[in-house]
Structure 1
Amino acid sequence: MSYLVVVRPFLFLYHLLTRIVWSGLNKRTIWHLVLDFAIGFGPVFLWLLIFKNAGIIPHSIRPPIHVKLPAIMDHYLFSNMVGGLFTIVCLLTFNYLLYVKYYRPKQSHTLNKYLPILNKRESIEIVQESRSSESSSTESDLEEQFELDLFTSPTATVVDPLPSFQSDENIPPLEFFHTLTQEEIANNETETNAKIIDHLKLTHSYHPRNCWYFAPPLLFLLSWGLLNIDYWFKDPITKHKDLLAWVLYVICHITVPIVTAVWLYVFHAPGALKLYGITLGIQNICGVLTHLVFPNAPPWFIHMYGANKEANYEMQGYAAGLIRVDIALGTHLHTEGFHASPIVFGAIPSLHSAMAVMTFFFVSYYARWTVVKVASFCFVAFQWWATIYLDHHWRVDLLIGLIYALFWFTIVKNVRFGLNRVDEEFIKSRLRFNFEKGSTMGMRVFRNTRLQKFFDPLE
């Protein structure tokens, strides 16, 4: 008995590691896994490669640096009454068009209803109701959204959970966890699928539960006011605000996207992480290329040298407000890091803004809990404040960073292989009892245990 007490924790760790490895592979080969990783994060590595080697471009062929332009744009769009009104009108107009074209839930004359049998275990009855005769222009409208052909038929049909559909010979039982019986697994899946069907009937879309599909245009609409509020709080300068801004601008800028990537992989549909990596990488590649072909001076340059000082590529980077953090922490890390930066005049767009906003878009789209969405929104607002407070970006830089994120998220949401397709395939796979394509990483690791439900975004 004492032997088992000593061995079981190590056996648990071994079995847990085994489950993580096989769940990560998810019926793929090692090479397929490496290829998927390369596709998902290749754009991010390419962005870092371009940024790191930007300094090797000969200065003689690089474009002139704009010093006054971002300051003038910032003042006109945010501080000038006429410019501010013009900006607000443009935001209202563009947001209306954006919402109507890409973000408003689509309506259709076609309706498929899926009715669960709640008093019969291990089965779901799916009924296809009559379709509207209006099908000339909207024939494929909801058929594309609800193309659950396996489950629909002119008459009622019954779909039974497949025997041992979650079983995998490579997955060992997990110590300290009760292994569910096949009957318990079937009952859980029946209940979950009933919830999925109710959700489909209610929303007429494959969007995740509690999806804030309206978040991108809403944030863009509120951006002018939020950026001005952040600007008002840039003074006075204090040590506590220095440290808070450092945490947001440096620590969270690195950790939040990584945590978001892990969260998407563990808790959400296969393919969501890949799209996050691709979108983040492409957005940042566009940003760094803009820095190279259209260089602009940050606020600290004008505050240090004046608006009439001509900038050149021989100048070293400057840590601006982060120097105060170096003094407070007794280090030269930020001062030396910014001095060695290969891109000094990369004010427009702000990639700090673009990355925070893109992260918020994915979190607001996928997170089940409203508090997580609100926290992600607050991160954007505080990140904007930190960049302004530390004198690294103008408000217009942050707005343009938001536009970059909005542009690429809108594309990845609506393209054929984008978010809509990922969500559709995930729900269809669940209703077909395809555990390989209808499960998250966390569900696969803790399959056949009660903890599996915790990692299920459809629960």
Structure 2
Amino acid sequence: MNVVFSFARFAKNMYNAGLNQRNPITLPFNFLLNFSPVFIWLSIFKHAGLIPTGIRPNIHSKFAFFADQFLFGDYWHELAVQFPNNTSKLFFWSFVSSTAFLLAFLVCLPLAIWYYIYYVKHVNYNPLEWFANIFHYPRSHKQRPIHKRLRTIFIPFALPVFTFVMLNIDHFFAYQSDANFTKTKDLLAWFSYVILHLTAPILTAVYLYVFQPPGTLKCFGFALGLQNIAGVFTHLLIPMASPWFTHLYGINDTEHVNYTQEGFAAGLIRVDSHLGTHLNTKGFHMSPIVFGAVPSLHSAIAFQCFLFLISRSTSLKHRFSNVGNLSLNNNDSSTFKLNEEDSEDDADNNNTVSMVGPNDLEMEPLSAIVSADALDERSPSPSSSLTVSSNERNTSNDGSSVINHNANKKPLQFVHLYHEDTQFTNKWIFKVINEGLVPKFWAVFYITLQWWATMYLDHHYRFDLFVGVLYAMTSFIIINWFVLQPKVLKTWIHIRLGDQVDTRNEARTFGMRVFCGSKMEWFFDPLA
């Protein structure tokens, strides 16, 4: 009976946490609104076959092949197969051009942009993670300068070279040869290319909804929709052939380069033979966009999941444990504000108590600051969200400086929503995931597996996959800069600081609402 009662109570908590002051009628409409760009993309893709062939653009059946060979290297000696009379010369120039592409565009250009941002413009925050000090705590007690931290370097500056290296590693294991094809590999590739392609975005959305601030899931949906809409329009305006087309008909084929050409399942035909079905074969024959190779939306969708998992998965730092008994009122003179303009909300939160640790979040020391109000008027810069004016830094109620000349910094104080039982949270099972490595590991594993599966099944070139990455990064940067950071995360931090009244019960994530008042609530808090 206790089990039934506990399950019923849990189900009730799930229902109430999901509604969160909404009603069952408006909730589906809210979901449809959040994922409307995805539905628009699916509608465009499904009805693409209705476009008259007479007004469609010419098909570029060779471009993706040459771009792949000369930007990433001819490791499979495909140029020798397609052009047997110029084997040695083409092979040599493929590696010269791919090396130049790697060094000039994937290493030197991102390095120059990184140097310009941090050493020429002297930016002292992460352009993509405005609140890095809040959500991503340093593993060591020594805080490294913002421009030397791995997170800042990896996203986005090291991502291009990471993509190049991983694509070539996957390319090596995806060699198109009967000796390389096995039943195990075929089924693994099918599982990634078909099953994970459909379920990974859903699982990523569930993770973001359960563990991240309200509004993060909407940003993920819009980022997916934006990149996919741009991708399908690229397919329609600049149609290109997949590798299976070249391997099946040859690079110089013109007979099959038309809009009546049926799709081909390529490596998935082997999966049909293993499973005794024809689902993949029939499904690809009915594809409305046969020459939609560039960009690869399989790569773009997987990489968007990768970006959100990498950037939003936070380290669990036991920030609200009562070790040390450091309790400070939220309106203490040492409490920093995200903005000067929000000080008027203090009266509503004077009785709020926050528990902080000795190495809690610290403000990023900025060398040259203007007032926060002035910054707010100029742009939605993160410096306006995380800094205070020089006057606020040098004065306090007791006459002592908030940040002294030795750069000793006082922590922000968040609203203490729960009590953390350290005997429970210090168990070994929580220490395994204490650095937020689980979602990061699965993000890297998934994108690596998906790239390999796509090439192994002969559905996309490395070039297609790389362009898909560029589409995902562009969409992510746009949504992150204009919506996620200034609208979602900034507002949520204001609420958690007590600077804004939580009228819509959005201080807690979905997981926190479900487990509110229990020992597990801390586990679902991005600030824990």
TM range (shorter): 0.7 to 0.9
- How far has the Cα of 1:212 moved from its partner? 6.9
Question: Which residue type is aligned with residue 428 of structure 1?
Answer: H
Residue 360 of structure 1: aligned partner: 306
Instruction: State the partner residue of 2:124.
Output: 107
Alignment check: 8 A CA contact 2:130 2:485 kept: no
| Aligned twin of 1:389 | 456
Alpha-carbon distance between aligned partners in 1 of 2:205 and 2:154, rounded to the nearest angstrom = 22
- Counting only pairs closer than 5 Å after superposition, residues 195-206 of structure 1 correspond to structure 2 as none
Aligned ranges for residues 177-196 of structure 1 at < 5 Å?
A: none
Structure 1 residues 237 and 18: alpha-carbon distance in aligned structure 2, compared to 1, 3 A threshold? same
Q: Deviations over 1:20-76 (max 9, x none)?
A: 222122223456534432331000111111111111111111111111111111111
Distance verdict in 2 for CA 1:203–1:454, change over 3 Å: farther
C-alpha displacement at 1:217, in angstroms?
3.1
Deviates more, 1:433-442 or 1:301-310: 433-442
* 2:451 paired with 1:423: no
Matching residue within 84, 90, 99 for 1:85: 99
Displaced runs of 4 or more, over 4 A: 29-32, 97-106, 201-205, 210-213
Alignment of 1:299-378 (within 5 A): 299-310=243-254, 311-368=257-314, 369-378=436-445
Paired positions, count: 367
Change (3 A) 1:349 1:216: same
Whether the 8 Å CA contact 1:267–1:456 is kept in 2: the answer is yes
In the other structure, the counterpart of 2:357 is: none
List runs of 5+ in structure 2 lacking aligned partners: 74-93, 315-435
How many Å separate the matches in 1 of 2:444 and 2:155?
A: 9
Q: For 1:326 and 1:276, how far apart are their aligned partners in 2? A: 33
- Write out aligned runs for 1:114-193 (5 A): none
Q: Letter of the 2:249 partner, please give it.
A: Y
- Show the counterpart of 2:171: 231
Check whether the contact 1:272–1:419 (CA below 8 A) recurs between aligned residues.
no
Q: Is residue 2:274 matched to residue 1:280?
A: no
Distance in 2 (alpha carbons) for counterparts of 1:29 and 1:37: 12
Deviation at 1:106, TM superposition (A): 4.6
Q: Deviation of residue 222 (structure 1)?
A: 1.6
TM-score normalised by L of structure 2: 0.64
Residue 471 (structure 2) aligned to one of 395, 398, 404: 404
| Conservation of the 8 A alpha-carbon contact between 2:263 and 2:287 | yes
The 2-side partners of 1:439 and 1:247 are apart by: 35
- Name the CA distance, whole Å, in 1 between partners of 2:33 and 2:167: 35
In the TM superposition, what whole-angstrom CA distance separates every residue of 1:323-360 from its partner, at most 9, and x where no partner exists?
00100111111001101111111110000110111111
Match of 1:17 in 2: 11
- Give the match's secondary structure for 1:295: coil
CA deviation digits over 1:193-240, x for unaligned, max 9?
9x99xx9x96999xxxx9678334322222222211111111322222
Q: 1:357 to 1:103 in 2, by over 3 A?
A: farther
Distance 1:102 1:455, change over 3 A: farther
Give the match for residue 448 of structure 1: 517
Structure 1 CA distance for aligned equivalents of residues 490 and 145 of structure 2: 12
Give, in whole Å, the separation in 2 of the partners of 1:101 and 1:268: 32
Compared with structure 1, are the counterparts of its residues 85 and 306 closer, same or farther at alpha carbon in structure 2 (3 Å cutoff)? same
The 1-side partners of 2:194 and 2:163 are apart by: 22
Q: Distance in 2 between matches of 1:262 and 1:271?
A: 13
Q: In the alignment, which residue of structure 2 is the partner of 1:150?
A: none
Q: Deviations over 1:115-142 (max 9, x none)?
A: xxxxxxxxxxxxxxxxxxxxxxxxxx99
Q: Give the Cα–Cα distance (whole angstroms) in 2 for the partners of residues 226 and 10 of structure 1.
A: 49
Query: Separation in 2 of the partners of 1:145 and 1:279?
Result: 18
Aligned residues of 1:326 and 1:333 also touching (Cα < 8 A)? yes
Identity across aligned pairs (percent)? 44
Letter in 2 for 1:85: T
Distance 2:27 2:154 in 1: 33
Give 1:86 shift.
Answer: 2.4
TM-score by length of 1: 0.73
Matched, 1:95 2:41: no
Cα deviation, 1:163-212, whole Å, max 9, x if unaligned, reads xxxxxxxxxxxxxxxxxxxxxxxxxxxxxx9x99xx9x96999xxxx967
Q: Which runs of 5+ in 1 are unaligned?
A: 109-140, 147-192
| Equivalent residues of 2:512, 2:524 under 8 A apart | yes
